[in-house]
Amino acid sequence: MGGRLTFVQGNEACVEAALYAGLDFFAGYPITPSTEIAELMSVRLPQKGARFMQMEDEIASICAIIGASLTGSKVMTATSGPGFSLMQEGLGYAIMAEIPCVIVDVQRGGPSTGLPTKVSQGDINQARWGVHGDHSIIALTASNHQDVFAMTVEAFNFSETYRTPVILLFDEVVGHMRERLLIPESGEIPLVERLKTSVREGVDYHPYLPREDGRLPMSDFGGVHRYNVTGLFHDMWGFPSDNPQVVHELLRHLVDKIESHVDEVTRFREYYLDDAELLLISYGSAARSALHVVMDRRQHGERIGLLELQTLWPFPTALVQEKAKHARYVVVVEMNMGQVLQSVKVAVDRPERVFLANRVDGVLITPFDIRNILRLIQGKGV
Amino acid sequence: MAIKDYIREKFFPHIWCPGCGHGIALNGLLHAVENMGLKKNDVVMVSGIGCSSRIAGYLDFHTLHTIHGRALAFAIGVKMSRPELTLLAPMGDGDALSIGGNHFIHACRRNIDMTAIVMNNKVYGMTGGQYSPLSGYGTMATTAPYSNIDQQFDVVDMATAAGATFVARTTAYHVQQMADILEEAIRHKGFSVVEVMTPCPTYFGRKNREGSAVDMMEKLKTMTTPIGSKAKQENPALIERGVFVKKEMPEYCAEYQKIIERATKGN
């Protein structure tokens, strides 16, 4: 296997992957702990003839990338919790107008200014529900730099496939930690390019008329088809409509195009699940500590396993139900007050057997923390 | 190309009230575009939210009807990706200078080549007549039932101070001047701001007892004067019309091209 071996921060791995995926335009605003992404983009993008812009705030950043995406560009912005909150209206616009874009949230402690330099996984539900109105969303995460790379490329691929914004929910530890990254050779990971319309000039093009497979071929702004894009409910021309049937169909389409493809967008890793009585479910940097516990306890003969989620939204309910079927206990390891825990409880057959192992003080949850909680659950005392 | 070829006839009639000045602003803009012979595929119109923003839907350009106050931020993304396109950003007064005030001043400062048209009717019309940052002290509005105590911005002063390289003001009464100024603004290589004063008889006029739509149109004539006119010296309360600022400064996209050249030199 070829490629280029590097020793980088997680934020750098994200940048490398975005460039690998063909990023054309990045707009952002400085915020810890995501700033390195913007800094590196300002160096790297012009080197390949692409463009970086530092905007006046995060609202402008997401708006600028949406505008750029309409010209056919692959686009990205990166931020952290407070900036992610500011982006929610723009995010909703991209969902409604079906414009591909990738938004990175390197999570820090919140609410509010919170803990700018410390780790948290507190934005999981904001990623799902921060936008007003009914909608669906794709959100991915990763626990190590190779997966940061893979998930970032996936984010671009999913955003093009489903014509939707995709959120990358990294966290401060993954963002700032340094470890090895093997950058794959060009072509090693397949890239999804924008589906362009085959409708010729002079023939009526309907930007919002889905094909039979639900996909909508696009035409670039500046190209031969002129059409309207709006955040209002709209008909197949993109013109505003409050016709109940138009509204009904569009809303169903926006939700169904993602919810009916849960299997296609579900990414995960599993460790020792075959005979696990004790199932840990984790993601992001917390999954590193969880994996450490699993390896350690396996050496002591304990039947313990780890399901590491990489797709958080749409939540892989069927996967979690299946993997938890034979577990006596399920323990969700995360650095929040139980945001993924809730989805796991809904997914499994016996929610009373689901427990939370968490830490919310800005410190990475340790294997020691997890083991103590496991002992309590198993009635062994600490 | 005939003027009617620039509009999407199937989406008419428009939503604006009888007596609204926005349709006249649209007319002025179309005359400017037609006179310049712009190709429809080369023009992107980006609008925000409010009565003004609906202008985008009626025109046969690439049109982007965005969210409240953010038209310029979206427009910047389009322009940076395709600098050869002509960007027009019609906005309302609340849209451009209240919720969008931050984007407005920073767009002026960057001097990115596009034309911002502030259709100033001094009121939030779409939501039913609340005061805007352009309403002015002492005006009445549905949210200023005892008189407005907010002082107002001056669009021209604001744009000038923020660094816009083309700044002008005209009105819905002065249609020929409007078309000329808009053409000059679009031709200008840099960030252009054109304030178009338009009447809102439905809300601003009614709340402030300004009479009929015709009376309000008449007022646009009598309360304004060309820049530096003798009338202005005699009556300082008159509002000046014309081109206030026109200067050459490095344009943002052109500057970024130099950045690319610098960055790729080592490659």
Question: Using H for helix, E for strand and C for coil, what is the string for B201-219?
Answer: HHHHHHHCCCCCHHHHHHH
| Nearest Cα residue in chain B from A26 | B77
Q: Report d(CA B41, CA A168) in Å as an integer.
A: 34
A96 in Cβ contact with A77 (< 8 Å): no
* Euclidean distance between CA atoms B8 and B61, whole angstroms: 9
Tokens at A254, concatenated = 């926006």
Q: For residue range B123-168, what is the model confidence (pLDDT) as tens digits?
A: 999 999 999 999 999 999 999 999 999 999 999 999 999 999 999 9
Q: Are strands A101-109 and A165-171 parallel, antiparallel or unpaired?
A: parallel
Alpha-carbon dihedral A59, A62, A65, A69, rounded to 10 degrees = -130
Chain A residues whose CB is inside 8 A of the B77 CB are 25, 27, 63-70, 75
d(CA A49, nearest CA chain B) in Å: 6
* Closest residue of chain A to B39, computed from CA coordinates: A222
Tally of domains in chain B: 1
Domains defined for chain A, CATH in brackets: 1-265 (3.40.50.970), 268-377 (3.40.50.920)
Q: By C-alpha distance, which of A292, A358, A304 is closest to A328?
A: A304
Question: What are the DSSP calls for B156-223, one per residue?
Answer: HHHHHHHT-SEEEEEESS-HHHHHHHHHHHHHSSSEEEEEEE---IIIIIHHTT--SHHHHHHHHHHT
Secondary structure element (H or E) that encloses residue A38, with its range: helix A35-47
At B197 the pLDDT is 98
DSSP string, B89-114: EEEEHHIIIIITHHHHHHHHHHT-SE
Helix boundaries (H) for A202-243: none
Contacts of B141 (CB under 8 A, 6+ apart): B123, B129, B130, B131, B135, B148, B203, B204, B207
Please tell me whether residue A4 adopts helix, strand or coil conformation: strand
Confidence category of residue A213, pLDDT binned at 50, 70, 90: confident
| Nearest chain B residue (CA) to A227 | B62
CATH no. for residue B14?
Answer: 3.40.50.970
Please enumerate in sequence order all residues whose Cβ is within 8 A of that of A233, keeping only pairs 6 or more positions apart, or say none.
A96, A240, A241, A242, A246, A247, A250, A251
Average pLDDT (A183-207) is 96
Q: How far apart are CA A158 and CA A170, in angstroms?
A: 17
Q: Write down the pLDDT at residue A214.
A: 83
Strand, coil or helix: what is B227? coil
Q: How far apart are CA A181 and CA A149, in angstroms?
A: 8
A59 interaction partners in chain B (CB closer than 8 Å): 70, 73, 103
Higher confidence at residue A282 or residue B266?
A282
Task: Please give the pLDDT value at position A325.
Answer: 96
* pLDDT over threshold 80, residue B267: no
Contacts 24+ apart (CB under 8 A), A286-292: A286/A121, A286/A143, A286/A333, A286/A334, A286/A335, A286/A364, A286/A365, A287/A143, A287/A333, A288/A143, A288/A144, A288/A173, A289/A333, A289/A364, A289/A365, A289/A366, A289/A367, A289/A369, A289/A370, A290/A333, A290/A367, A290/A370, A291/A143, A292/A367
User: Residue B81 corresponds to which tokens in the numbers above?
Assistant: 């990706």
CB contact under 8 A, B56 and A239: no
> Residue B266's pLDDT is what?
66
Cα–Cα distance for residue pair A152/A166, rounded to 1 Å = 10
Beta-carbon separation of B65 and A232 below 8 A: yes
CA B96 to chain centre: 8
pLDDT confidence bin for A212, thresholds 50/70/90: confident
For B7-24, the pLDDT digits (tens) are: 999 889 999 999 999 999
Classify residue A53 as exposed, middle or buried by CB count within 10 Å of its CB (0-12, 13-18, 19+): buried
* Class of residue A90 by CB neighbours under 10 A (exposed 0-12, middle 13-18, buried 19+): buried
How many angstroms separate the CA of residue A102 from the nearest CA in chain B? 14
Cα separation, A227 vs A206, in Å, equals: 8
Would you call A22 an interface residue with chain B, using a CB distance cutoff of 8 Å?
no
Site from B62, B126, B258 to mutate, A interface, most A CB atoms within 10 angstroms: B62
Inform me whether the C-beta atom of residue A56 falls under 8 Å from chain B C-beta atoms: yes
pLDDT at A382 exceeding the cut of 80? no
Question: DSSP 3-state assignment of B64?
Answer: strand
Least CB–CB distance from B44: residue in A72, A221, A224: A221
C-beta atoms of B256 and A49 within 8 A: no
Residue in B235, B210, B212 with CA at minimum distance from that of residue B225? B235
Task: Give the residue among A210, A315, A206 at the shortest CA–CA distance from A252.
Answer: A210
pLDDT band per the 50, 70, 90 thresholds, residue A1: low
Evaluate if residue A380 carries a pLDDT over 90. no
Q: What gap in Å lies between CA A282 and CA A310, rounded to an integer?
A: 9
What is the domain extent for residue B20?
3-264
In eight-state DSSP terms, residue A199 is P
pLDDT, one tens digit per residue, over A44-84 is: 999 999 999 999 999 999 999 999 999 999 999 999 999 99
Nearest CA in chain A to B15: A240
- The predicted structure's pLDDT at residue A381: 78
DSSP one-letter code for A207 = T
Beta strands in A80-150 (DSSP E): 101-109, 115-119, 138-140
The answer to whether A27 and A50 have CB atoms below 8 angstroms apart is no
Amino acid at A374: L
Full-model pTM: 0.98
State chain B's mean pLDDT as an integer.
97
User: Which of B56, B75, B262 is facing A228, going by the closest CB pair?
Assistant: B56
Residue B35 has pLDDT above 70, yes or no: yes
DSSP assignment, residue B52?
G
Q: What is the ipTM of this complex?
A: 0.97
Element (H, E) at A180: strand A178-183
Alpha-carbon distance of A168 to A80, in angstroms, equals: 11
**How far is CA A272 from its chain centroid?**
25
Nearest CB to A228: which of B57, B263, B264?
B57
Compute the count of residue pairs across chains A and B with CB atoms less than 8 Å apart: 129
B188 vs A91: CA distance, rounded Å: 33
Query: Which has the closest alpha carbon to B174: B224, B134, B211, B213?
Result: B224
Residue type, B18: P
Comparing C-alpha atoms, which of A94, A119, A130 is closest to residue A288?
Answer: A119
Q: Is A228 on the interface with B (CB under 8 A)?
A: yes
CA distance B132 to B68: 14
